[in-house]
Amino acid sequence: MFPLRPHDSLDLTPEAPSPRLITEIGEVGLLQIVQRYCPTQVVGDDAAVLEPPQGQLVVTTDVLVEGVHFSDLTTPAHAVGWRSVAANLSDLAAMGSRPQVLVMGLGLPASTPIVWVEELYRGMQACSEEWGAALVGGDLCRSPHRFVAITALGAVQPGRAVQRKLAQPGDWLVVTGPHGDARAGLELLLHPEQGAGVAAAEQEWLIRAHQYPRPRLDIVPILNGIPDPLRIGGMDTSDGLADALIQVCQASGVEATIDLERIPLSAALQQAFPKQALEWALYGGEDFELLLSLEPAVAQYLLQQLPGSACIGEITGWDPKGTVHLQGGEILSRQCAFQHF
């Protein structure tokens, strides 16, 4: 785990010495710094050469843009690096696959402090090492604004990938953990005054959920322990739990009924933001948990094996529209779901 740094470690007050900028060391100097974070055997060629994985190959890509997905106010460079890797690893977890390698495209203004880049790489390295993924290459280029584009490769046993379209009537809907914490952490970073009266430990919990999300790759060995045939519908909840529920039901052509009271909420969220907790759990996004649709026996096994997971509802029938009903008769709306544009 990493020390919590709600603001960037750069001290930009006039008294502090100015941080050195990329423009002072140029591309060659920057590459020398960056190559410390890549395995030496793959550095320096136009591409990395790897042994192919056992099983099927899983490929995902995810982009983080300054001012959209992060800012110096909410996300220090180390956390930007961590989150950019975590977002990709969460996509691999959502397919039931184990990570192999990462490559990264990085856009930076020449006025970027060198320490920002170093911290970014340290954050990427910390997250990728924790889940056994190696950063094997990338492309650095000048850009008017900062962005990080990561592609992750994983491996899955043939025919056992988790897919959105695989939910079927009779399935239980399981979430791997609590929702809404990342949104609450963002609120505390953007509006620290909202934290008045909230204990420091709870604030830290929620901010950490936003800055240092943990991809649920712990489900992969559990799934691998279940004998064939295995059919699992699902996806990650990075765009919000409500969005994930609707996406899975639409992709599978099924309807579901959800009990909102069974959605796991952390004690920190309920104490800090009791009024907003449920809305943020459904629509906040960026929790990087998983929503899975499983046969009841498989669901029970997973619930046993994975502390903190919960069954929040079930698939009740076929429905081309993919309607998600709530206990009590309402229909779950996508209304508040995060829209990228």
Residues 211-270 that bind a copy of itself (CB under 8 A): 235-236, 251
Q: Amino acid letter at 311? A: C
Under the binding rule (CB under 8 A), the answer on residue 281 touching a copy of itself is: no
248 neighbors 234 (Cβ within 8 angstroms): yes
Task: Kindly identify the residues of this chain, within the stretch 167-206, that bind a copy of itself according to CB under 8 A.
Answer: none
The minimum distance between CB 59 and a copy of itself, in angstroms, equals: 5
Q: Which lies closer to a copy of itself via its Cβ, residue 58 or residue 272?
A: 58
What string marks each residue from 51 to 80 as x (binds a copy of itself by CB under 8 A) or -? xxx-xxxxxxxxx-x-xxx-----------
Nearer to a copy of itself among residue 38 and residue 206 (C-beta): 38
Judged by CB under 8 A, the residue of 124, 153, 269, 277 near a copy of itself is 153
Strands 56-65 vs 147-156: parallel, antiparallel or unpaired: antiparallel
What character string, x for contact with a copy of itself (CB under 8 A) and - otherwise, covers 2-31? --------------------xx--xxx-x-
Determine the size of the site formed for a copy of itself (CB under 8 A).
71
Instruction: Name the 3-class secondary structure at 148.
Output: strand
Task: Determine which residue in the list 71, 143, 168, 276 makes contact with a copy of itself, applying CB under 8 A.
Answer: 143
Radius of gyration of the chain (CA): 21
The least CB distance from residue 106 to a copy of itself, in Å, is 8
* Euclidean distance between CA atoms 274 and 202, whole angstroms: 13
CA distances from 283 to 50, 151, 160, 237, 337 (A): 39, 26, 29, 10, 5
- Kindly state the smallest distance separating residue 259's Cβ from a copy of itself, in Å: 25
User: Considering only CA atoms, which of 278, 286, 130, 281 is closest in space to residue 211?
Assistant: 286
- DSSP-H helix ranges across 64-180: 77-94, 114-130
Nearest approach in angstroms of CB 157 to a copy of itself is 11
Residue 163: HSE in the Cβ half-sphere, 13 Å Cα cutoff: 12
Nearer to a copy of itself, 86 or 153 (CB): 153
Q: Site for a copy of itself (CB under 8 A): which residue of 38, 77, 80, 106? A: 106
Q: With respect to a copy of itself, which residue has the nearer C-beta, 188 or 230?
A: 230
Q: Which is nearer to a copy of itself, 128 or 266 (CB)?
A: 128
DSSP assignment letter at 69: T
Contact 124, 85 (CB under 8 A): yes
* H-assigned helices in 191-293: 200-211, 219-224, 241-252, 267-272, 277-283
